[in-house]
Amino acid sequence: MTTHSLITSRSDGLTTNRMLLMWLGFAAVLLFAPHVFTSSLAHSHLTQMGTGIVLALSYNILLGQSGMLSFGHAAFSGLGAFMSVHAMNLAGGGVFWLPLPLIPIVGALTGLAFAALIGYVITRISGVAFAMITLGIGQMAYASSLMFPGFFGGEGGVSSNRVYGEPLLGWTFGPQIQVYYLVAFWLLICAMAIFYLTRTPLGRLLNGVRDNEERIPFIGFNPHMLRYMALMAAGFFAGIGGSLMAINFEIATDEVLSLHESGAVLLFTFIGGTTSFFGPMLGAVIGVLLTKLLPDYTAGWQMYLGIVFILVVVYAPGGIGSLLRPGVDMVRKTFLHRRYAQFFRLLLSVTALVVSSILLIELLYHRATGASNPLSLWGLSLDHQGFIVWAIAMAILLAGLLTIKPSGRALLGQLAEDTAQLEGEAP
């Protein structure tokens, strides 16, 4: 064995071991999460996070891997949800045998079939034209849900019961925690499949279509067919996400086909980041927290969602996921070089901005509702009609704005000097 092949084999072995540890860790998180967050509401949110992650990962096959902006992704997941509900009703009625854990296969085949049906034509073009066509197809699917009530159930949708047939290994899938584990099982399968798809020759060719479509024909491949395959793969996994959504809620309505649903998947994928595999997963988790959990605490949750989106667009175009590695590296270097004072000043500036922003938003919403009682926030009773609380909030905000850039530059500059000094001392 040559030195080059020996090094390559060792490198591949390390990579394989690292990947194995990564997936084992991810599986452990999925396994123990409902035992850390034990309430029924937490299990419901965890289930929705799992479904959202599948949808975001499927969407990132188009946007992140292939550079295809789509506004009609809900057509694939929504049709998968409707077909899955009908399959559950038929299986529950004894028409055919299909246990609940296999229902997502119905959604997957539905999404794949619809993508194959429309994809060959619409993937002939790319860019803005493709995005507009997907918008039209998504709206056509949404309109069809009201035009064909026999299949879509009209405005009320189609409901089902996930508890049917004989229990599978004692599981009826009635309790929410059992539904969560079903979603987690399919999430793990989909995440692994999509991850390794991105590392196949097809995945690399899709990256080529995204980065420089004109060069693809010179290496013997058709960009149109590559986009077509990307759309079918995205439709396949989106159908699984829609099926899991139908199993969780036991109903499919016209809302699952709406532009709102497509926009939510796009928004959360972008917030998490399309440049890394785990970015959409992070975005789906943040999306569920902002849209499902936060409304229980504040009426201004949409304002927070908008602020997060604006901050990501302006300061982190690669998504929050793109900040993880630099952030971890900065914290590691901070503790390595013991630059605690600079790090604390930056943390204090960020805290001032977050606290003052929350305070101002809550004061504005409380005042807009015309409430006469004081605002209750963080255990404090705040007079939203008085001048003092507004002045304090504005002062904290101004202090954060004036200090965050100097604090960040001071810390990063000092860390850069420390790193350069260490490299200069190295033999």
- pLDDT tier, 414 (very low <50, low <70, confident <90, very high otherwise): low
Question: Mean pLDDT, to the nearest integer, of 166-176?
Answer: 86
The residues spanned by each domain of the chain are 1-36, 37-321, 337-425
pLDDT digits (tens, 9 = 90+) for 210-257: 988 889 998 888 999 999 999 999 999 999 999 999 999 999 999 999
* Structure confidence at residue 305 (pLDDT): 87
Instruction: Quote the tokens at residue 164.
Output: 């049917």
- CATH topology for 37-321? ABC transporter involved in vitamin B12 uptake, BtuC (1.10.3470)
pLDDT of residue 381: 78
What is the band of 419 on the pLDDT scale with cuts at 50, 70, 90? low
Q: According to the model, what pLDDT value does residue 415 have?
A: 63
Global pTM reads 0.85
Residue 98 has pLDDT above 50, yes or no: yes
Q: Model confidence at 6, in pLDDT bands (50, 70, 90)?
A: very low
* pLDDT value for 420: 64
Average pLDDT over residues 333-347: 72
Band (pLDDT 50/70/90 cuts) for residue 10 is very low
pLDDT for 346-365, tens place per residue?
888 888 888 888 888 888 88
Span 11-17, average pLDDT: 58
Residue 7: the pLDDT is 35
Does 393 or 12 have the greater pLDDT score?
A: 393
| 240 to 54, 141, 216, 247: CA distances (angstroms) | 8, 18, 31, 11
Say if residue 424's pLDDT is above 80: no
- At 405, the pLDDT band (50, 70, 90 cuts) reads confident
